[in-house]
Structure formats: structure tokens, C-alpha cells
Amino acid sequence: AVVSTQSTGSYIFLQTFAIPGSIFLSILSGFLFSFPINLILICACSAIGATNCFLLFSLVGRKVVIRYFPERVQSWNAQVDKHRDSLLNYIIFLRITPFLPNWFINMTSPVIGVPVFPFVFGTFIGVAPPSLLAIQAGGTLHTLTSASDAVSPLQFVLLIVLGFVSMIPVAFKQYFKQKLE
């Protein structure tokens, strides 16, 4: 119980303050804990920590970014407004795919007007596939020599494919919206 409490607290702390290293805690917890509990724990810690980062940045960083980059923020807000009905899918896509770092998503989302609800649930769902890989790597921790050993090229491609699969509902919405107009 002590180890799970400490790893949970550490994970949330790292996510809240955008400190790299949560991947190592995910791998370690894959070694220490059973799979289903571990997956739910990692997804919850990621969602809680990312939401804390989101809220901190919306209180402090948002004003600074808007002050120094008002045109860019306005442009990004317009893009978010165009896709407001599909933000959950976009957040899931961004979390599954390795295109943008999670700290960047956590900090920019409040600036560009992403609501908390799709952010939290998109994070919870979207971190599951990469977390599965980290948990799997944790199961073989005794054979790993570096963090790059945890993810194979096939697993990397699988994450990208899953990211695009998460965008299928958006494509269907746009297709049917055009048909109805």
C-alpha cells in the first residue's frame, strides 16, 4: 500500500508540474502491480495530474501567453471552435499518438479554450494504449537496458494506427454533416 501511494503521488506530481519521468514510473508499476489495477491507476494518475497542470496553467500561464501571443491564440481558438463538437476525439488522438508531448497538450489546452470535460476524459482514455506498452515493458523490466527498449517500432506504428482510429468518429460526423447540408 505504501509503494502504490508513493508511486501514485509521484506520478501525479510529475504530471502536474510537467516534469519528465512518468514513463519510468509506468514501467516500474508494470513490474510491481497487476495489470488491470495498474492500467486504471496510470490512467487516473495521468488524468488527475494533467488536469492539475491544465488548471494551474489556466490560472497562471494563460494570461502570459495571451499577452505575448494574442494573434496566435486567437487563431488557435478559432480552430478549436470549428471542432468543438469533436474535441474529445482530438484529445484522445493527441494522447495516443506520439506527435506532441503531453506537457505541451496540458499547457496549451486551457490557452486555446479546450473545456475541462473533454480534456479529462480524453486524457484518461487516450493514455491507455501507451500505458499498455509501458506496463508490458514493466513485466519484462529485468531485461530492459534503456527506456527505448520499452517500445518497439511495431508498437510505435500501432499507437499511430490507434490514434487515427480514434479520429474515425470525427470523419463520420463531417461526412454526414456534408450530406445533410
Per-position pLDDT tens, the chain of length 181: 688 888 899 999 999 999 988 988 998 888 888 888 899 999 999 999 999 999 999 999 888 999 999 999 999 899 889 888 999 999 999 999 888 899 999 999 999 999 999 999 999 999 999 999 888 888 877 666 666 666 678 888 888 888 888 888 888 888 887 887 7
pTM, two decimal places: 0.81
CA–CA distance, 72 with 65 (Å, rounded to integer):
9
Side-chain half-sphere CA neighbours of 19 within 13 A: 10
Nine cell digits for residue 107: 499547457
Rounded-to-10 torsion of CA 52, 56, 62, 68? -120
Q: Give me the DSSP letters along 43-97.
A: HHHHHHHHHHHHHHIIIIIHHHHHHH-HHHHHHHHHHHHHTGGGHHHHHHHHHHS
